[in-house]
């Protein structure tokens, strides 16, 4: 009897990740590519390591874990080799569009920013090139790829219909491999237990379910308990890690730094020796795009044009580029620049003061904040003051319900079988953060403002 050969990768979350030799031949050409290796230098959780020191893991290891989970689901559901190849590659590449510090980089401007998903097709275009396809097919004579197969992979990542929603659900849904991996991975590296759930039992309970003329990824009735555990783990991670106040305060400061650098570039205030810097060039283009997009109704066309013109810069960027620019600005001789002031705070980890504001108190709180700004108009700079929206939704019952197959083979919605999940279904949890620079807080009676905000009754 012929033994199956495995390629083994040691992983702190899944232990010994095993890919068959065939699977290894499918993913290794992508894994070794320059665009994918770039993810080694993009942290999974932005500046979370400033609060949870162990959170230094990156998008590279998460994507690898996601690919492994998809391979496990494929074997559990006994999918064909063709489907397994496409969906594993899609899982591996699902985050390839991320920029430095992951989601933080997407929010430099309130409008005019571009989400990482929009960059994904530009990265995939490079895998459509004939040179890559030929190199891949030399190692995969029996499972070759074509540009059309890359199209299918892109549709899976973007959750576009390709006639097989089962595969799409593995890559993007409320039961997708992305969430199944990042909850366990982020929890481990942050040193918390909020994100833990019984992954092996949930995997055992996954099943294909016929629903509305389509096959979807769902669970058997035996998996209701572990799915409750998994969804509550996501909610707890959201509240305690992903929406940690200090994390968002640090990232607010980082976003303000990048925004001020872009402004300085636009006003020709940066030293000429920085003009060739890749990050500086990209921010200059982004500033122009941000201004143009506010003055046009053809936003999609402008977005595509900008991305097409500046993808060569974007794909070179990683966390190190931003750290290098922060250090350069903080230690430079340009004290008159706002970007330098912010860089100095980031270099010293001097985080802003933060105060949570709940939705019931928001109208009164906004009034108090406006009065505070008016009182100190001309003294407090815009970057020193902000209101951060931390709205989130734990479970989308209306648009993307998790399906349950009962003992008789009938299909139900998870919330129909779980009072716990029904209680959080489509319930937006709205929390906001008032963010004030430490210097402004000390100088302009920030303590009194925070006391007033604490005393507000909804």
Give the pLDDT confidence score for residue 379 in this predicted structure: 86
HEC readout, 334-399: CCCCHHHHHHHHHHCCCCCEEEEEEHHHHHHHHHHHHHHHHHCCCCCCHHHEEEEECCEECECCCC
**Domain 352-391+430-458, architecture per CATH:** 2-Layer Sandwich (3.30)
CA angle 25, 29, 34 (to 5 degrees): 160
Task: Please state the domain extents for the chain.
Answer: 6-191, 244-351, 352-391+430-458
Task: Report whether pLDDT(111) > 70.
Answer: no
pLDDT above 70 covers what percent of the chain? Answer: 97
Distance in angstroms (rounded) separating the CA atoms of residues 4 and 65: 21
Distance in angstroms (rounded) separating the CA atoms of residues 5 and 18: 9
Model pTM score:
0.94
Give the pLDDT confidence score for residue 4 in this predicted structure: 67
Task: Report whether pLDDT(3) > 60.
Answer: no
Task: Report whether pLDDT(161) > 80.
Answer: no
Task: Report whether pLDDT(1) > 60.
Answer: no
CATH number 1.10.3210.10 is the correct assignment for the domain at 6-191: yes
pLDDT tens track for 129-158: 999 999 999 999 999 999 999 999 999 998
3-state SS assignment for residue 63: helix
Give the pLDDT confidence score for residue 82 in this predicted structure: 94
pLDDT tens track for 240-290: 999 999 999 999 999 999 999 988 988 888 877 788 899 999 999 998 898
Cβ–Cβ < 8 Å for 357, 432: yes
The angle that helices 177-190 and 224-237 make with each other, rounded to 10 degrees, is: 50
Distance in angstroms (rounded) separating the CA atoms of residues 288 and 380: 26
pLDDT tens track for 379-438: 888 899 889 999 899 999 999 999 999 999 999 999 999 999 999 999 998 889 999 999
Give the pLDDT confidence score for residue 112 in this predicted structure: 60
Cβ–Cβ < 8 Å for 22, 4: no
Question: DSSP characters for 128-177?
Answer: SSHHHHHHHHHH-TTS---HHHHHHHHHHHTT--SS-HHHHHHHSSTT-H
Contacts of 143 (CB under 8 A, 6+ apart): 22, 25, 26, 81, 82, 85
Rounded to the nearest 5 percent, the helix, strand and coil shares of the chain are 60, 10, 30
Distance in angstroms (rounded) separating the CA atoms of residues 193 and 241: 11
Cβ–Cβ < 8 Å for 383, 421: no
pLDDT confidence of 104, banded at 50, 70, 90?
Answer: confident
Distance in angstroms (rounded) separating the CA atoms of residues 287 and 115: 16
Residue 166, Ramachandran bin (φ over 0: left; ψ between -120 and 50: alpha; else beta): alpha
């Amino acid at each position: 009897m012929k033994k199956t050969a495995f390629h083994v990768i040691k992983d702190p979350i899944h232990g010994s990740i095993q890919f068959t030799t065939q699977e290894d031949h499918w993913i290794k050409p992508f894994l070794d590519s320059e665009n994918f290796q770039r993810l080694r230098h993009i942290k999974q959780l932005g500046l979370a390591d400033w609060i949870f020191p162990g959170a230094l893991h990156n998008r590279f290891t998460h994507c690898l874990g996601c690919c492994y989970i998809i391979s496990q689901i494929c074997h559990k559901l006994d999918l064909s080799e063709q489907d397994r190849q496409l969906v594993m590659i899609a899982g591996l590449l699902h985050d390839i569009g991320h920029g430095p510090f992951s989601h933080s980089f997407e929010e430099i401007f309130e409008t005019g920013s571009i989400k990482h998903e929009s960059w994904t097709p530009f990265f995939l275009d490079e895998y459509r090139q004939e040179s890559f396809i030929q190199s891949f097919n030399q190692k995969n004579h029996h499972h070759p790829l074509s540009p059309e197969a890359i199209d299918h992979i892109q549709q899976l990542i973007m959750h576009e219909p390709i006639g097989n929603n089962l595969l799409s659900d593995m890559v993007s849904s409320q039961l997708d491999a992305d969430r199944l991996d990042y909850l366990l991975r982020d929890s481990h590296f942050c040193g918390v237990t909020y994100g833990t759930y019984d992954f092996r039992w949930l995997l055992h309970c996954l099943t294909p379910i016929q629903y509305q003329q389509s096959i979807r990824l769902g669970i058997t009735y035996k998996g209701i308990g572990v799915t409750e555990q998994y969804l509550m783990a996501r909610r707890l991670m959201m509240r305690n890690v992903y929406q940690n106040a200090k994390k968002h305060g640090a990232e607010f400061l980082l976003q303000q730094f990048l925004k001020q650098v872009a402004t300085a570039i636009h006003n020709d205030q940066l030293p000429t020796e920085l003009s060739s810097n890749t990050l500086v060039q990209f921010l200059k283009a982004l500033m122009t795009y941000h201004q143009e997009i506010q003055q046009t109704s053809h936003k999609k066309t402008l977005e595509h044009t900008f991305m097409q013109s500046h993808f060569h810069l974007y794909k070179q960027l990683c966390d190190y580029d931003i750290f290098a620019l922060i250090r350069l600005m903080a230690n430079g001789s340009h004290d008159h620049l706002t970007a330098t002031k912010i860089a100095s705070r980031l270099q010293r980890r001097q985080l802003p003061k933060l105060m949570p504001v709940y939705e019931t108190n928001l109208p009164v709180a906004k009034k108090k904040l406006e009065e505070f700004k008016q009182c100190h108009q001309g003294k407090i700079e815009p970057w020193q003051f902000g209101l951060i929206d931390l709205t989130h939704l734990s479970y989308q019952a209306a648009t993307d319900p998790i399906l349950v197959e009962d003992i008789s083979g009938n299909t139900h919605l998870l919330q129909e079988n779980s009072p716990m999940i029904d209680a959080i279904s489509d319930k937006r949890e709205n929390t906001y953060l008032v963010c004030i620079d430490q210097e402004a807080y000390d100088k302009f009676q920030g303590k009194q403002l925070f006391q007033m905000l604490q005393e507000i009754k909804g």
